[in-house]
Copies of this chain bind each other. A is one copy, B any other.
Amino acid sequence: MSRFWSARVRELVPYVPGEQPKISNLVKLNTNEHPFGPSPKAIAAMQAALTDDLRLYPDPNADALRQSIADYYDLAAQGGDKSWVFVGNGSDEVLAHAFHGLFQHDKPLLFPDISYSFYPVYCQLYDIAFETVALTPAFEIDPVDYARPNGGVIFPNPNAPTGRVLALAAIEQILQANRDVVVLVDEAYIDFGGDSAVALVGRYDNLLITQTLSKSRALAGLRVGLAIGQPHLIEALERIKNSFNSYPLGRVALAGAQAAFEDRAYFDSMQQMVVMQRDSLTAKLERMGFEVLPSGANFVFARHPAHAGADLAQALRERAVVVRQFNKPRIAEFLRITVGTPDQHAALLEALAEIIM
């Protein structure tokens, strides 16, 4: 605390990301990183960007990347183009701009009680009132609960850390009940299961979707995120961005992200591998007595009837396996386990067997 600080800083309780340990021989299943690497074409494109041209600023409008994303989602079929796409320095930055530019209203923002724990932090940072809406006992979002006065709605789909998917019909129900506020669907994990709400973006002027290249595209180390919505929503993000940092994405990030979107074949095969790994991990955990929520993400959310979540996480940590556990109401008994490689799963299951037996 310092007399120099702005008043807001004094009240802030910052987000705490999952641990990024510097020990290299850990089995790291705590921050939902991709078990395999990014597209070799993305690596090649980044290599090609490592020239003396790095002395020059990047394209502040990221036109080529936004065009590739518009093409990937065939936005033209819905009457859209690259002006429906916004890009930023990871989806956390994109979310921050959305909170700042679209959620500062008199009525409270709504989001699930169990959800991405960065949302209440953004609310603090930008002085946004919020109300949480309880998930059902099965940890699902019930659209009916979002038909009440609000200044905006946000939820991840699949939800984090539960992994549960909301169907597009349910998302439409929420969009229809909230025509005068922005409904932001945070699709960080959408590529691992569930249908993207991008299919609805032409029909709903209140729909904004965010995505990241940190999960399904295996580029957490590069920092690229995006938003898709109709131009009047994208313009709000652009106005904030251009009042904050004209050049959020460097030349290497632009090149790598574009190539990652253009390499569909690699992406599709990686998705299949992660989904197979997830299903196999789920089955093995269930065989050990875990209850595993149905997951559409690259992680599973699991609890054991006989072992406390914090104890399990600690015992795993002692065996060099890192998973995430949240000391929060309703979910403290769960472990969130990132889908890893077969070797990582073997190490995890061996450690769990030791602990549980």
Contact = CB atoms under 8 A, between A and B. Distances in A.
A55 B38 contact: yes
Contact of A4 (B15, B54, B181): B181
Interface in A208-246: 214, 218-223, 232-233, 235-236, 238-246
A243 B122 contact: yes
Interface in A1-31: 2-9, 12, 14-17, 20, 22, 28, 31
Nearest to A121: B243
Contacts of A243: 12, 14-15, 121-122, 124-125
A102 B59 CA distance: 30
Interface in A244-281: 244-253, 256
A6 B223 contact: no
B54 A251 contact: no
A46 to B, nearest CB: 5
B89 A89 contact: yes
Interface in A80-95: 89-90, 92-93
Of listed A2, A93, A125, residue having the most chain B CB within 10 A: A2
A318 interface: no
A192 to B, nearest CB: 14
A343 interface: no
Given A122-B243, A236-B9, A240-B12, A220 B57 contact: yes
A281 to B, nearest CB: 18
- Residue of A22, A180, A233, A243 ringed by the most chain B CB atoms within 10 A: A243
Most buried by B among A59, A240, A241, A252: A252
B104 A236 contact: no
A201 to B, nearest CB: 14
A96 B54 contact: no
Given A240-B12, A249-B223, A6 B90 contact: no
Contact of A5 (B16, B58, B236): B236
A78 interface: no
Contacts of A55: 33-38, 218-221
Given A57-B220, A101-B6, A220-B57, A93 B244 contact: yes
B100 A15 contact: no
A294 interface: no
A342 interface: no
A182 interface: yes
Nearest 4 interchain pairs by C-beta: A37-B52, A14-B242, A6-B104, A221-B251
Given A2-B236, A43-B50, A56-B220, 19 more contacts: A2-B235, A12-B240, A12-B243, A14-B239, A15-B242, A36-B52, A37-B51, A37-B53, A38-B52, A38-B54, A47-B50, A57-B221, A58-B220, A58-B221, A89-B223, A92-B245, A122-B243, A221-B252, A250-B252
29 contacts: A5-B101, A6-B101, A6-B102, A6-B105, A8-B100, A8-B101, A9-B236, A15-B243, A17-B247, A20-B58, A20-B60, A37-B52, A37-B55, A43-B54, A46-B252, A54-B219, A56-B221, A57-B214, A89-B245, A90-B245, A90-B248, A92-B244, A92-B245, A92-B246, A121-B243, A124-B243, A125-B244, A222-B252, A223-B250
